[in-house]
Amino acid sequence: MPQSVQVRNTHELYYLRTQQAQEKMERSEKRLKQRLRVCVATCNRADYSKLAPIMFGIKSHPEIFDLEVVVLGSHLIDDYGNTFRMIEQDEFDIRSKLHTIVRGEDEAAMVESVGLALVKLPDVLQRLAPDILLVHGDRFDALALATAAALMNIRILHLEGGEVSGTIDDSIRHSISKLAHYHAVCTRSAERHLISMCEDHSHILLAGCPSYDKLLSAHQRDDYTDIIKSWIGDDVKEQNYIVALQHPVTTDIQNSIKIYELMLDALISFNKRTLILFPNIDAGSKEMVRVMRRKGIEQHPNFRAVKHVPFDQFIQLVAHAGCMIGNSSCGVREAGAFGTPVINLGTRQTGRETGENVLHVRDADTHNKIYHALELQFGKRYPCSKIYGDGNAVQRILKFMQSINLSEPLQKKFCFPAVKECISQDIDHILETQSALAVDLGGTNLRVAIVCMKGKVVKKYTQLNPKTFEERIELILTMCKQAMADAVHLNCRILGVGVSTGGRVNPQDGIVLHSTKLINEWSSVDIRTPISSALHLPVWVDNDGNCAALAERKFGHGKGVENFVTIITGTGIGGGIIQHNELIHGSTFCAAELGHIVVSLEGPECMCGSHGCIEAYSSGLALQREAKRLHDEDLLLVEGMTVNNKEQVNAIHLINAARLGNSKAESILHTAGTALGLGIVNILHMINPSLVILSGVLSEHYENPVRQVISQRALLSAQGTKVMVSELEDPALLGAASMVLDYTTRRTY
């Protein structure tokens, strides 16, 4: 009997364990089905413009997310437009409104506001009990949010951390990053900064700026003229007005007020219609408003002073403005998406990455400086910039939040030191490679390639070059669009487009001034604008010789060499000069036309119209001309050589004939090598480089003759100059890519 009881108990125990396991599994499945509670806290009009796209994304997936909205800070102040109303107009249910601002607009008021927020936030966060709190940026309100959430063991996702702007905002931003558990950053530099700050690279998402998801489609709106008229006036036309937005710098309040006053004086003198927004609530803003009122800006006929403009309308006003001026981050970030000219005043955005549309006036200490900057920038247009995003930030962030493991320990882990370099982590933990689209516009073929940061050609496309300008541009765009589509699958992030072309090029404006005879109809042609407008990417254009030099500087023998010259020996003769690590263009973009150095007064005619140029002796076309002459005189072929009747005689036949002992061919090649060597000796005596790189299909044949001429003809101090043959397979494509990959975006005035 006891044995049967024991058996029964064993069966009951087995059943009990099975039931418990099933219940545990059901609880686990139920937990997985529960929605992720996300609290989005917004403090002011600026951070709402970044958070709103994410909020709409969360709201569109009610089966996955449960959105809670908390509003605090200047949203709830009448003087700053009561901007919480636009959140309600967007049909978001605001769960809590916290009045956290202590008025005074000075340093003490900012500190008191942080303290007041810390008093009020715990009750709200305890009641909402979110799984994740989204905090944006670098405002003192956001610091209070992050502090409260961290102390209450709530996971924090910080947006736009890791950036550098050069003010107290940096300290606040980095403090929030140290409190946050997860990060969604806009740029690779910001990502690197966070990694160097010992943040866990697996918790960093390179997403881009959420506002860019809306910005990049902003030009498609048809009602922008109505928006301009409603805010600035019925008689105001596109690109004929200014948007001004200047905030106080809390670490240098008096100087920022002075700059603000000088800006207003310059705008009054410039005499253009101007939309000016009130400054934010930082310490010093009250004094700035007093300056504005003392100058009568609100009553001035050229000015429209407003406290707030809805973001979707504001970006239309910025997109179509003749210029934006001030120190708002919008100028160095969002305005770049439209190519709007920007004048950045003072030091508030000193460390930000910027596009070429931004002109910095760091020391804005005179009215004339600011006025002159307005003259330089007003009415210009620049290539669209995607430094801060590619339009896919929200979907990346939503996937990133879904991937957060809530059962993972909440305690932050730091990496001492950063264990990986240049990490770019998308939501599937796959490395996205920074890449460029490179375009080589040759006489025969048009080539497009995806080139990564290390100089690898990931994929290449080749088509015959059409005859007309319109057909060429259409083919370039078609090939680039195909490459961009392929880049997504190849996991390459395209940063811009570099174009290499023959002829004389103005790289500042992206214009081919004079093309070679090989590429007709390309004189005074703007290549940059149609490509940039169609692809929404920045575009750089330069001469193929210059591109070859840039390729060597980044990927070839010129890497780490301060002064060197690259000579291209192909169909023509070209090159590029690197002096003190910079490419030399010359006053009329005619520098490094090395093929047209004259080495003989009585030499053969060159395609440029002159006589005795290096190109007339040493280019592939010159050798082809001589090969045809010998062939017509039956002096080309020697034993072991044949030329098919259908085959066109070219430079290769001449080289083969010389190798087989044809004395006439040997003499021609000797003359060609001597001419090239004499030209290089002239270069050595003019700019004294430490290295000469021979590139192109004929480079190997000219290496020894060039060295021999240098040893015989160069001055003693120049005879030791190194001569090397390039090892790069596609210097034109790699050079075009390097313009994108190496471009310095920050300009200083």
Contacts of 72 (CB under 8 A, 6+ apart): 41, 42, 43, 97, 98, 99, 100, 117, 120, 141, 145
* DSSP 3-state of 459: strand
Task: Please report, to the nearest 10 degrees, the dihedral formed by the alpha carbons of residues 168, 171, 176, 179 taken in order.
Answer: -150
Tell me the β-bridge partners of 512. 505, 525
Q: Is 422 annotated as a binding residue?
A: no
Question: Cα separation of 603 and 587, whole Å?
Answer: 28
Question: Cα separation of 330 and 333, whole Å?
Answer: 5
Question: Cα separation of 550 and 555, whole Å?
Answer: 8
- Give the type of residue at 179: L
Phi, psi of 151 (to 5 degrees): -70, -20
Length of the chain in terms of residues written: 749
Nearest to 354 by CA among 331, 375, 324: 331
Question: Cα separation of 2 and 16, whole Å?
Answer: 21
Give the CB-side neighbour count of residue 402, counting CA atoms within 13 A.
Answer: 16
Task: Please report, to the nearest 10 degrees, the dihedral formed by the alpha carbons of residues 664, 668, 669, 673 taken in order.
Answer: 150
Q: Containing H/E element for 323?
A: strand 323-326
- Both structure tokens of 741: 């990959």
Nearest to 439 by CA among 357, 499, 384, 361: 499
Nearest to 361 by CA among 246, 282, 281, 280: 246
Q: Is 39 annotated as a binding residue?
A: no
Contacts 24+ apart (CB under 8 A), 453-457: 453/741, 455/554, 455/555, 455/734, 455/737, 457/729, 457/730, 457/733, 457/734
Question: Cα separation of 455 and 276, whole Å?
Answer: 46
Nearest to 692 by CA among 597, 558, 580: 558
Using an 8 Å Cβ cutoff, are 691 and 564 in contact? yes
The answer to whether 200 is a known catalytic residue is no
Contacts of 531 (CB under 8 A, 6+ apart): 473, 476, 477, 480, 497, 499, 537, 539
Q: Is 606 annotated as a binding residue?
A: yes
Using an 8 Å Cβ cutoff, are 589 and 504 in contact? yes
Q: Helix/strand/coil (H, E, C) string of 208-277?
A: CCCCHHHHCCHHHCCCHHHHHHHHCCCCCCCCCEEEEECCCCCCCHHHHHHHHHHHHHHHHHHCCEEEEE
Tell me the β-bridge partners of 41. 70
Tell me the β-bridge partners of 358. 342
Contacts of 672 (CB under 8 A, 6+ apart): 617, 618, 622, 623, 702, 705
Count CB-CB contacts under 10 A for residue 259: 26
Catalytic residue among 200, 544, 634, 742: 544
Pairing of strands 358-361, 722-725: unpaired
Q: How far is CA 682 from CA 9, 616, 710, in A?
A: 103, 17, 10
Q: Is 492 annotated as a binding residue?
A: no
Tell me the β-bridge partners of 360. 344, 748
Catalytic residues: 544
Binding-site annotation, residues: 596, 606, 608, 613
Cite the annotated binding site for Zn(2+) by residue number: 596, 606, 608, 613
